[in-house]
């Protein structure tokens, strides 16, 4: 049996006391400590790379470990309600931290991971995408409905969290719970739409909505318990009116709140939809927001197949810009994949072909330099606007390549036209 001496027990108890006294600071410290330890292990205790574990503590600890710790704290407080007033206040602070950091980290994730923010906002299901890109998970026209329901849910949470229970009529409490139901519904649908074991980079966006659901359930549970712990309530306020007396009596029993709130949620949803209709929204946008999409679980649209764009080559990436600027002329084939071809791309490839035929050693040197410096630059081009800029910057080179082709080839336009054609379509010289 594992035995701890008195000195070890004393240190453990001291650590527990510190966590109880400063839970928020302790949670941050534990997260950074785990991140630092993971950095030390990753760099094999090499003290020459001491900065890497420090960066690991900030990045892994702050962006990965701490959200997981917050989730565990929310789950634990869901099943075990603290009785101490100080701890109740600390749990509420953890909830606010979860919401603030959840919004911030979700926006960071959208902005960093494959430029998801631009893709999710602009790429409707009918738009042509490249490589492993996915279309937006929420239909553009349905975004206002989804945002409005989330805002309504947030307002319901703030009412229940920030206003003392004894200062609120039961009907306001039930309406706030109904509003939270609408926000929690949006969180559940988002998680169903996004979650996938195959694509974890997208699934990580489910963590914040999952925490919102936990916080919502926990808030309702806490308020019911708090109401029941208060002094006896007047159940017979409407003796002369049997109907009002019946509803008042049920509202005074907190156990009925979740059911009554579920009933009131539907007229509240109707009011929200009627309000949004004044701004051009339609009631069916509530459903279409999730179904008028492609690539996701609730999607009912079939998107055009993604085209292949070799992200290693600047000209190939530039061909993926806006059509009015890069002027694509046809589809081509590269390494067995279909690619968008414009004249600049064909001219650059024809020029390289000339170099390879006439000066193989010089071509090898140029190719080595381009592979060394061109690849890292090409990987930074993740949006159509960036591709447009690269296309325009390479215009002078395109003109130079074209001059060389006209000086070295008897039929330069034939060579340009032959680029990126399937092998079976090429004419043998």
pLDDT at residue 427 tops 60: no
Distance from C-alpha of 226 to C-alpha of 230, rounded to nearest angstrom: 7
What stretches of 195-206 show up as alpha helix (H) in DSSP? 200-203
Whether residues 320 and 242 fall in one domain: no
Distance from C-alpha of 194 to C-alpha of 204, rounded to nearest angstrom: 9
The whole-number average pLDDT for the span 314-330 is 72
Whether residues 167 and 277 fall in one domain: yes
Distance from C-alpha of 253 to C-alpha of 257, rounded to nearest angstrom: 7
Reported as a single tens digit per residue, the pLDDT across 407-426 is: 888 888 888 888 878 765 44
Distance from C-alpha of 33 to C-alpha of 15, rounded to nearest angstrom: 14
Select the more confidently predicted residue: 417 or 375. Answer: 417
Instruction: Tell which of 257, 291, 325 closes a domain.
Output: 291
- Is the residue at 249 inside a domain? yes
- The model's pTM: 0.72
pLDDT at residue 351 tops 60: yes
Given a contact cutoff of 8 angstroms between Cβ atoms, the answer to whether 219 and 78 are in contact is no
Whether residues 280 and 321 fall in one domain: no
Whether residues 258 and 336 fall in one domain: no
Distance from C-alpha of 195 to C-alpha of 206, rounded to nearest angstrom: 7
Report the pLDDT value the prediction gives residue 428, as an integer from 0 to 100: 38
- Indicate the range of 13-22, 243-252, 266-275, 334-343 predicted with least confidence: 243-252
Q: Give the pair of three-digit tokens for residue 237.
A: 């306020």
Select the more confidently predicted residue: 315 or 35. Answer: 35
Whether residues 182 and 265 fall in one domain: yes
| Helix or strand run (H / E) with residue 329 | strand 328-334
Please provide the average confidence, as pLDDT, over all residues in the chain.
Answer: 79
Q: What share of the chain is helix, strand, coil (3-state, %, to 5)?
A: 70, 5, 25
Whether residues 286 and 417 fall in one domain: no
Q: Give the pair of three-digit tokens for residue 260.
A: 């009554």
Whether residues 158 and 271 fall in one domain: yes
Distance from C-alpha of 140 to C-alpha of 289, rounded to nearest angstrom: 7
- Is the residue at 12 inside a domain? no
- Is the residue at 268 inside a domain? yes
- Is the residue at 37 inside a domain? no
- Is the residue at 20 inside a domain? no
Distance from C-alpha of 305 to C-alpha of 207, rounded to nearest angstrom: 30
Reported as a single tens digit per residue, the pLDDT across 212-244 is: 999 999 999 999 988 888 766 555 555 555 565
Distance from C-alpha of 227 to C-alpha of 220, rounded to nearest angstrom: 11
The whole-number average pLDDT for the span 145-168 is 92
Whether residues 270 and 334 fall in one domain: no
Distance from C-alpha of 272 to C-alpha of 152, rounded to nearest angstrom: 9
Whether residues 271 and 150 fall in one domain: yes
- Give the range with max mean pLDDT: 49-53, 58-62, 70-74, 315-319: 70-74
- Is the residue at 368 inside a domain? yes
Q: Give the pair of three-digit tokens for residue 409.
A: 């080839």
Whether residues 206 and 326 fall in one domain: no
Whether residues 283 and 328 fall in one domain: no
Select the more confidently predicted residue: 53 or 368. Answer: 368
Given a contact cutoff of 8 angstroms between Cβ atoms, the answer to whether 295 and 301 are in contact is no
- Give the range with max mean pLDDT: 74-83, 179-188, 287-296, 391-400: 179-188
Report the pLDDT value the prediction gives residue 71, as an integer from 0 to 100: 93
Given a contact cutoff of 8 angstroms between Cβ atoms, the answer to whether 379 and 429 are in contact is no
- Which of the 8 DSSP states describes residue 182? H
Residue 334's domain spans which residues?
A: 314-425
- Is the residue at 135 inside a domain? no
- Indicate the range of 43-47, 53-57, 304-308, 367-371 predicted with least confidence: 43-47
What confidence category does residue 127 fall into, taking pLDDT thresholds of 50, 70 and 90? Answer: confident
Select the more confidently predicted residue: 371 or 261. Answer: 261
- Is the residue at 371 inside a domain? yes
Whether residues 259 and 331 fall in one domain: no
For the chain, the domain total comes to 2
Bridge partners of 332? Answer: 339
């Amino acid at each position: 049996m594992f035995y701890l001496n008195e000195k070890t027990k004393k240190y453990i108890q001291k650590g527990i006391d510190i966590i109880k006294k400063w839970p928020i600071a302790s949670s941050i410290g534990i997260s950074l400590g785990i991140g630092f330890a993971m950095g030390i292990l990753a760099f094999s205790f090499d003290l020459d790379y001491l900065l890497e574990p420090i960066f690991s503590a900030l990045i892994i600890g702050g962006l990965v470990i701490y959200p997981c710790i917050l989730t565990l704290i929310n789950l634990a407080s869901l099943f075990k309600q603290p009785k101490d007033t100080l701890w109740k206040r600390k749990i509420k602070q953890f909830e606010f931290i979860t919401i603030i950091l959840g919004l911030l980290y979700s926006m960071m994730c959208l902005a960093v991971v494959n430029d998801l923010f631009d893709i999710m906002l602009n790429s409707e299901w009918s738009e042509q995408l490249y490589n492993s890109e996915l279309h937006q998970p929420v239909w553009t026209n349905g975004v206002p409905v989804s945002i409005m329901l989330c805002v309504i849910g947030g307002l319901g949470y703030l009412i229940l969290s920030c206003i003392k229970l004894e200062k609120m009529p039961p009907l306001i409490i039930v309406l706030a719970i109904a509003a939270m139901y609408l926000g929690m519904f949006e969180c559940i649908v988002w998680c169903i739409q996004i979650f996938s074991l195959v694509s974890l980079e997208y699934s990580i966006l489910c963590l914040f909505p999952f925490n919102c659901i936990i916080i919502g359930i926990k808030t309702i549970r806490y308020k019911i318990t708090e109401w029941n712990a208060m002094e006896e309530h007047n159940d017979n306020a409407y003796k002369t009116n049997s109907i009002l007396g019946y509803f008042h009596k049920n509202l005074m029993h907190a156990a009925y709140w979740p059911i009554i709130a579920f009933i009131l949620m539907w007229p509240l949803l109707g009011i929200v939809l009627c309000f949004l209709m004044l701004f051009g929204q339609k009631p069916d946008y509530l459903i279409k927001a999730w179904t008028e999409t492609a690539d996701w679980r609730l999607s009912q649209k079939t998107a055009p197949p993604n085209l292949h764009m070799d992200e290693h080559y600047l000209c190939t990436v530039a061909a993926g810009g806006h059509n009015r600027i890069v002027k694509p002329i046809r589809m081509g084939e590269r390494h067995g994949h279909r690619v968008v071809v414009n004249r600049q791309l064909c001219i650059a490839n024809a020029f390289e072909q000339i170099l390879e035929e006439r000066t193989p050693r010089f071509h090898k040197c140029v190719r080595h330099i381009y592979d060394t410096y061109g690849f890292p630059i090409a990987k930074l081009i993740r949006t159509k606007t960036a591709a447009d800029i690269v296309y325009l910057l390479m215009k002078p080179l395109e003109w130079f390549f074209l001059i060389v082709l006209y000086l070295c080839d008897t039929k330069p336009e034939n060579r340009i036209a032959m680029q990126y054609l399937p092998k079976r379509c090429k004419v043998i010289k």
